[in-house]
A and B are shown apart, each in its own frame.
Chain A
Amino acid sequence: MSFKDILNSGKFVVTAEVGPPKGTDIKEMIHHIELLKGKVDALNVTDNQSAVMRICSMAVCRICLDHGVEPILQMTCRDRNRIGLQSDLLGASVLNIKNVLCMTGDHVLAGDHKQAKPVYDLESVQLLGVVNSLNNGKDMSGNDLRGATDFFQGAVVTPEANPLEPQLIKFEKKVKAGAKFFQSQAIYDINRFKEFMKYARRFPVKMLAGIVVLKSAGMANFINNNVPGIRVPQELIDELKAAGKEKALDTGLNIAARHIKQLKDENICDGVHIMAIGMEDKVPIIMERAGLL
Chain B
Amino acid sequence: MIITKKRELQELMENLKNYKSFFLIGCSECASLCGTGNQEAIDSLTESLKAEGKEVTGGFVPKTGCQVLGTKVELKPFKEALDKSDCILVMSCGAGTQAAVEIFEDKPVYPTNDSLFLGNMTRFQMFDERCSLCGKCILDKTGGICPVTACPKGILNGPCGGCKDGKCEVSPDIKCAWVRIYERMKRLDKLQELCDTVLEAKDWSQNIKPRTLATRPEKKEEKKK
B-binding residues in A (CB < 8 A): 78, 82, 104-107, 109-110, 118, 120-126, 129, 140, 156, 158, 161-163, 165-167, 169-170, 172-173, 176-177, 185, 227-229
Contacts and interface: CB of A to CB of B under 8 A. Distances in A.
Interface string B182-216: 10000000010011001011101000000000000
B204 A156 contact: no
Nearest to A170: B158
11 contacts: A78-B153, A107-B162, A120-B155, A122-B201, A125-B156, A161-B159, A161-B163, A163-B179, A166-B179, A228-B163, A229-B164
B194 A169 contact: yes
Given A166-B178, A169-B158, A169-B194, 18 more contacts: A78-B153, A107-B152, A120-B154, A121-B202, A123-B157, A126-B200, A158-B161, A166-B163, A167-B159, A167-B161, A169-B195, A170-B159, A170-B178, A173-B195, A173-B198, A176-B198, A228-B164, A228-B169
Given A118-B153, A121-B204, A228-B169, A173 B162 contact: no
Interface of B: 152-166, 169-170, 178-179, 181-182, 191, 194-195, 198, 200-202, 204
Given A110-B169, A229-B161, A121 B201 contact: yes
Nearest to B166: A163
B159 A166 contact: yes
A162 B182 CA distance: 13
A106 B152 contact: no
Contacts of A107: 152-153, 162, 169-170
Contacts of B155: 104, 120, 123
Contacts of A129: 198, 200
Main secondary structure of the interface of B (DSSP, over half): loop
A129 B200 CA distance: 9
Contacts of B195: 169, 172-173
A125 B161 contact: no
Contact of B164 (A118, A162, A165): A162
Contacts, number: 95
Contacts of B179: 163, 166
B153 A104 contact: yes
Contacts of B161: 156, 158, 161, 167, 185, 228-229
Which of B153, B164, B198, B200 has most chain A Cβ within 10 Å? B153
A282 to B, nearest CB: 24
A129 B152 CA distance: 22
Given A163-B182, A165-B182, A166-B179, A228 B162 contact: yes
Contacts of A172: 195
A184 to B, nearest CB: 10
A122 B204 CA distance: 11
Given A110-B169, A166-B182, A173 B157 contact: yes
A47 to B, nearest CB: 14
Which of B155, B191, B204 has most chain A Cβ within 10 Å? B155
B169 A140 contact: no
Nearest to B186: A165
A110 B160 CA distance: 14
A163 B179 CA distance: 8
Nearest to B155: A123
Which of B156, B159, B165 has most chain A Cβ within 10 Å? B159
A51 to B, nearest CB: 11
Given A163-B179, A169-B195, A123 B153 contact: yes
A256 B204 CA distance: 46
A85 B162 CA distance: 22
A129 B199 CA distance: 11
Nearest to A156: B161
